[in-house]
Amino acid sequence: MMLARTASYLYWIGRYMERAEFTARLVEATVRLDALSARPAGEGAWASALSVASAKEDYEATGESITPSNVANYLTLSESNSNSIRNCLYNARMNARAVRTALTREGWESINRAWLALRDRSATGGAQSTINLVDELKAEIRGFEGAMHRMLRQDKHWMLRLGAAIERADNTARLIDVKYHLILPEGEEIGGVIDRDQWGTILQTVSANTAFRWLYRDGLSPGRVVEMLTLRRELPRSLACCVEEVTEILDEIGQETGFQGEADRMARLRHKRLTGTKVGDIIRGGLHEFLQAFITENRLLSQAISRQFRFD
Amino acid sequence: MAAKFFDEIWGYSRGRKPRPGFEEIAHWIRSTPKKEMRRRQDSAEAAFRQLGITFNVYGEDEEAERIIPFDIVPRVFAADEWARLSEGLEQRVNALNAFLVDVYNDRKILADGVVPSDLVLGNPGFTPAVNGIRPPHGVFAHIAGIDMVRTGPDEFYVLEDNARTPSGVSYMLENREAMLRLCPELFEMFEVEPVDRYTDALREMMQSVAPESAPKDPVCVILTPGHFNSAFYEHSFLADNLGIELVEAADLIVDDDIVWMRTIGGRKRVDVIYRRIDDDFLDPLVFRPDSMLGVPGLMAAYFAGNVTIINAPGGGIADDKAIYSYMPEIVKYYTGEEAKLPNVETWRCREPDALKYVLENMADLVVKKVDGSGGYGMLVGPSATSEEVDEFKKAVKANPNGYIAQPTLALSTVPTLGEKGVKGRHVDFRPFVLSGANGVETVKGGLTRVALREGSLVVNSSQGGGTKDSLVLRPPRDQKQSQSQDGRSQSQSQAKGGS
């Protein structure tokens, strides 16, 4: 049975690595959206990227103007942004260093390498070099995921994945919420070119362009994208999939420890509720309200997990 | 003209003629292009950095993680050299353990006047708290690192005994991994004794010394001060290789003289603790009350016989450099034999004649604090300025009990890759000796430290030293035995059709 301290560090490694990956994808997709649209959507793309990363207010406080390179730097390398990829990797690495016995050698090396690749970078540079950096980071983080999946399928493995699944649920919810409320420039219609680009960007952020074509033979529409990202269990980053994964992982851990608790009950309840939900219900009740409630519930679940496994 | 220093490959020949048995390695050193050696060395260091085999230098930024430089040219011990060394090491460690049990219990050696009572009982390394305690199976120094130097073909000397928490074993293992990967041809050339036996031997030893009350499969842990400690990599490396938990003080609780660790499923009883924390910080209720690294109540659990602590508290007395100077007598007293490994000649400044000699000849001597380590608190006379010598004289005069002095030794050299090709650099050697309920074992290998600066005699990593792999060769086999006997190849008689 693993140490409670080890469990806590692993959980947070899972969360930070997932956040780093999500942010890397977000930067990549935004560079793309910016390049696609020689229209005002370009600037809007970077502003909304900040909102997705819940960094808008902190960014405004720095007084910097919203330019592609400023925002890319802020999301990727900034030391003052506590959720920048640099800080996520730094935190993941500090946690990993303290519990490196709990990781495989490959797992530790991929975190360490990702950190070393970023440590001495001071600027992301232009679009192309931003893409190169982000590609490199994504490859390292994928290496970490690969290593994670080759770990012994024991409590340590589950704890890393639990952190990752909770974080992924949070990230996906934020992504949909922000994009859905993105205000289109005046004169643009819903379903117009800019709107389509933006929904395409969402799909790209969660690597779901192709998935969408497979799941929906019809064209891109906000309702279908929302349905896929919230309710379709086939998509690994959908809320439904994350919710199911959290429940299953907690089950696995419970079988090993012989205990279940508050976190298990909350996760099962949430799982059951989401399984019975239809996309129409969500839209009728207000997507934003639905997503905000989901994010809050996810945070409470994370707190229940810390209590149940005696993280402090 | 013969070289001034003995070289472990070239003897005194100044690179003209290798010592018998070292022709192949000499050829390898000569024929491998330096650029290729450099490439391999860089690759090893890059791998160490990726693995995070780093140490923090005290006094620098906490995050200043450095790797210890690695040298690609290995040191090689012939089988017979090693056989003599390991016999001597085992004899010495047996005597150390007998000495520790004796001074904390019957004190026969003091009563017999072999070692002065006041030197032991008044020593800062002597721990009254463990008086009358006999650790399980009578072992204090479960893991001993004996620092050795060599000055000639048959001249090995013990420089220091480390009976507290010797570090460096991860380098022995990782350096070998790197060499196997980067210089596989060396291992085709020689039959080298494996070092990876160490982790199995350590696990067996730890299990063997568990308290009698422990279950058959005792719960063993490694206790680390935490990930900011300079040796943290090693702590985690060992825990990982042993497959046991690496715990910090906050993970342990003592309840009713039993040690438990906090897990996600509640608490779990601990039987054996390999601690990498000094005695002083082990338990704030018994030792330093301000220790944040320790576990309150741990010593009570130890006294109650409910947990084994590796190495046992109180062993520091054996590391004292004044006690060291009595080791030949101590070995003889407990084993009845002459010490197989000699000490370096040592002047104890506590003795008036010795003090006089040391003060008069300080510029030629190495002067050490009796309780110093890591190359700190020491003076290397020949390379010191006259101001430094004067300062040390004052310090020694003020506290003669606190110092010993030794002659400056002509440490052996081993060819080492430097800026200008492969040149001899001075080395020392730390083998690791394990003592458990089933006897003493020295793993065939160790940590060779090398002073990378030309002419330097200080090998400590904190002072710019590096490490090398240390290869112990297998004894040459005679022809008959080398035939395959595992039944997987055709035997000679069958091939000829039998009779």
pLDDT tens profile B286-326:
998 888 889 999 999 999 999 999 999 999 999 888 899 99
Q: Is B455 exposed, middle or buried (0-12, 13-18, 19+ CB in 10 A)?
A: exposed
What pLDDT shows up at residue B497?
43
Q: Which of B63, B264, B270, B274 would you mutate first to test chain A, the one with the most A CBs within 10 A? A: B264
Amino acid A20 reads: A
CB A179 within 8 A of CB A198: yes
What pLDDT shows up at residue A232?
94
What pLDDT shows up at residue B482?
46
**3-class SS of residue B323:** helix
User: CB-CB: which of B52, B232, B266 is closest to A108?
Assistant: B52
This complex has an ipTM of 0.76
Contact A98 B264 (CB under 8 A): no
3-state helix, strand, coil in chain B (%, to 5): 35, 25, 40
Contact A100 B52 (CB under 8 A): yes
User: CB-CB: which of A98, A100, A155 is closest to B264?
Assistant: A155
DSSP state of B265: T
In this predicted model, which residue has the larger pLDDT, A40 or B61? A40
From the list B468, B484, B489, B475, the residue with the least C-alpha distance to B192 is B475
In this predicted model, which residue has the larger pLDDT, A183 or A18? A18
Structure tokens at A178: 């922000």
Between CA A222 and CA A15 the distance in angstroms is: 28
Instruction: Give me the CATH number covering residue B381.
Output: 3.30.1490.270
| Alpha-helix runs per DSSP H in B147-259 | 169-182, 184-189, 197-208, 232-242
Q: Residue B231: its chain A contacts at CB < 8 A?
A: none
Q: Residue A253: its chain B contacts at CB < 8 A?
A: 264
Residue B424: which residues within 8 A CB-CB, separation 6 or more? B5, B7, B10, B413, B414, B415, B416
CB B427 within 8 A of CB B450: yes
Q: In this structure, how many other beta carbons lie within 10 angstroms of the beta carbon of residue A271?
A: 16
CB B66 within 8 A of CB B54: yes
Amino acid B103 reads: V
Distance from CA of B249 to the nearest CA of A (A): 11
Contact B264 A2 (CB under 8 A): yes
User: CB-CB: which of B50, B52, B251 is closest to A3?
Assistant: B251
Structure tokens at A250: 């907690």
User: CB-CB: which of B236, B239, B250 is closest to A5?
Assistant: B250
Q: Residue B221: its chain A contacts at CB < 8 A?
A: none
Buried/exposed A51-78: b ≥16 CB within 10 Å, e otherwise: bbbebbebbeeeeeebebebbbbbbbbb
Kindly tell me if the per-residue pLDDT of B55 is higher than 70: no
pLDDT tens profile B167-178:
889 999 999 999
- Identify the top-confidence range among B60-74, B183-197, B477-491: B183-197
What are the φ/ψ torsions at residue A53 (nearest 5 degrees)? -80, 15
CB B317 within 8 A of CB B123: yes
pLDDT confidence band for A152 (50 / 70 / 90): confident
The DSSP code sequence of chain A is: --BHHHHHHHHHHHHHHHHHHHHHHHHHHHHHHHHH--STHHHHHHHHHHHHTT-HHHHHHHT----HHHHHHHHHT-SS-TTSHHHHHHHHHHHHHHTGGGS-HHHHHHHHHHHHHHHT-----SHHHHHHHHHHHHHHHHHHHHHHHTS-SSHHHHHHHHHHHHHHHHHHHHHHHHHHHPPPPTTPPTTSHHHHHHHHHHHHHTT-HHHHHHH-SS---HHHHHHHHHH-TTSTTSHHHHHHHHHHHHHHHHHHHS---HHHHHHHHHHHHHHT--HHHHHHH-HHHHHHHHHHHHHHHHHHHHHHTT--
pLDDT confidence band for B26 (50 / 70 / 90): very high
Q: Tell me, yes or no, whether B296 lies in a domain.
A: no
Q: Tell me, yes or no, whether B303 lies in a domain.
A: no
Between CA B270 and CA A54 the distance in angstroms is: 45
Contact A3 B265 (CB under 8 A): no
Contact B265 A101 (CB under 8 A): no
pLDDT tens profile B389-426:
999 899 999 999 889 999 988 899 999 998 888 999 99
Q: Tell me, yes or no, whether B400 lies in a domain.
A: yes
Structure tokens at A5: 């301290």
What pLDDT shows up at residue A215?
87
Q: List the single residue in A with minimal CA-CA distance to B52.
A: A112
Residue listed under structure tokens 């809050």: A296
Weakest-pLDDT range from A76-85, B195-204, B453-462: B453-462
Kindly tell me if the per-residue pLDDT of B20 is higher than 50: yes
CB B288 within 8 A of CB B281: yes
Structure tokens at B260: 């438990």
Kindly tell me if the per-residue pLDDT of B201 is higher than 70: yes
* DSSP-derived pairing of the beta strands B365-369 and B378-380: antiparallel
Amino acid B389 reads: V
pLDDT confidence band for B61 (50 / 70 / 90): very low
CB B411 within 8 A of CB B150: yes
What pLDDT shows up at residue B474?
93
Residue B497: which residues within 8 A CB-CB, separation 6 or more? none
Distance from CA of B248 to the nearest CA of A (A): 9
Residue B17: which residues within 8 A CB-CB, separation 6 or more? B10, B11
From the list B149, B108, B69, the residue with the least C-alpha distance to B417 is B69
Contact B264 A7 (CB under 8 A): yes
Kindly tell me if the per-residue pLDDT of A169 is higher than 80: yes
Taking the Cβ of residue B239 and every Cβ of chain A, the question of whether any pair is shorter than 8 Å is answered with yes
What pLDDT shows up at residue B499?
40
Kindly tell me if the per-residue pLDDT of B334 is higher than 90: yes
Mean pLDDT of B94-109: 96
What pLDDT shows up at residue B490?
55
What pLDDT shows up at residue A3?
93
pLDDT tens profile A196-249:
777 777 888 888 888 888 888 877 777 888 899 999 999 999 999 999 999 999
Kindly tell me if the per-residue pLDDT of B49 is higher than 60: yes
Residues of A with CB under 8 A from a CB of B: 1-7, 94, 97-101, 105, 108-109, 112-113, 116, 155, 159, 253, 256-259, 309-310
User: CB-CB: which of B227, B240, B264 is closest to A97?
Assistant: B227
What pLDDT shows up at residue A189?
57
Taking the Cβ of residue B251 and every Cβ of chain A, the question of whether any pair is shorter than 8 Å is answered with yes
Contact B50 A259 (CB under 8 A): no
Give this prediction's pTM: 0.83
What pLDDT shows up at residue B58?
46
Q: List the single residue in B with minimal CA-CA distance to A307.
A: B264
Q: Tell me, yes or no, whether B414 lies in a domain.
A: no
Distance from CA of A106 to the nearest CA of B (A): 9
Between CA A192 and CA A27 the distance in angstroms is: 23
Taking the Cβ of residue B250 and every Cβ of chain A, the question of whether any pair is shorter than 8 Å is answered with yes
Q: List the single residue in B with minimal CA-CA distance to A110.
A: B50
Contact A113 B50 (CB under 8 A): yes
What pLDDT shows up at residue B191?
92
Kindly tell me if the per-residue pLDDT of B440 is higher than 90: yes
Contact A112 B52 (CB under 8 A): yes
Contact A310 B50 (CB under 8 A): no
Number of CB pairs, chain A paired with chain B, less than 8 A apart: 63
Kindly tell me if the per-residue pLDDT of A40 is higher than 60: no
Structure tokens at B171: 């380098």
Kindly tell me if the per-residue pLDDT of A41 is higher than 60: no
CB B70 within 8 A of CB B175: yes
What pLDDT shows up at residue B420?
85
pLDDT confidence band for A175 (50 / 70 / 90): confident
Q: Peptide bond before B311: cis, by omega within 30 degrees of 0?
A: yes
Distance from CA of B489 to the nearest CA of A (A): 37
Taking the Cβ of residue B64 and every Cβ of chain A, the question of whether any pair is shorter than 8 Å is answered with no
Q: Residue B250: its chain A contacts at CB < 8 A?
A: 5
CB B310 within 8 A of CB B272: yes
pLDDT confidence band for A192 (50 / 70 / 90): low
Distance from CA of A243 to the nearest CA of B (A): 22
> Domain residues for B373?
347-408
Mean pLDDT of A87-99: 93
Between CA A195 and CA A221 the distance in angstroms is: 10
pLDDT confidence band for B65 (50 / 70 / 90): low
Kindly tell me if the per-residue pLDDT of A179 is higher than 80: no
Q: Residue A256: its chain B contacts at CB < 8 A?
A: 265
pLDDT confidence band for A123 (50 / 70 / 90): confident
Q: Tell me, yes or no, whether B88 lies in a domain.
A: no
Mean pLDDT of B193-221: 94
Mean pLDDT of B454-471: 84
Q: Tell me, yes or no, whether B454 lies in a domain.
A: no
Q: Into how many domains does chain B fold?
A: 1
Domain boundaries, chain A: 4-308
Q: Tell me, yes or no, whether B381 lies in a domain.
A: yes
Q: Tell me, yes or no, whether B12 lies in a domain.
A: no
Q: List the single residue in B with minimal CA-CA distance to A1.
A: B263
Q: List the single residue in B with minimal CA-CA distance to A309.
A: B264
User: CB-CB: which of B52, B248, B268 is closest to A5?
Assistant: B248
